[in-house]
Amino acid sequence: MDAETFNRMYAVGTQVRVFPNTREDGSRITRTRTRAVQVQHGLAVVHVDGIRCAFDTRHIDPLPADYVTEPVR
């Protein structure tokens, strides 16, 4: 998905599941902290909270707004 499409569909602060290494190595739940941008060769990337590197939008899964990440008390 290109950056323009990603940004239309998902606002900054969208909860996402990211795969820092590979999908087989496990995931982490976080939020986007920037809009997606196009970089070399048309790759779309976005930065997320708590991780320094940018992620290819193909390697993150946006989560529903009502996705619960912490137990309700």
DSSP secondary-structure letter at 53?
Answer: S
Q: Is the pLDDT of residue 73 over 60?
A: no
Radius of gyration from C-alpha coordinates of the chain: 12
Q: What global pTM score does this model have?
A: 0.82
What pLDDT is stored for residue 2 in this prediction?
92
Q: Is the pLDDT of residue 7 over 80?
A: yes
Q: Is the pLDDT of residue 69 over 80?
A: no
Q: What is the pLDDT of residues 12-41, one digit of tens each?
A: 999 999 987 766 777 889 999 999 999 988
- Read off the pLDDT of each residue in 56-67 and give the average, rounded to a whole number: 89
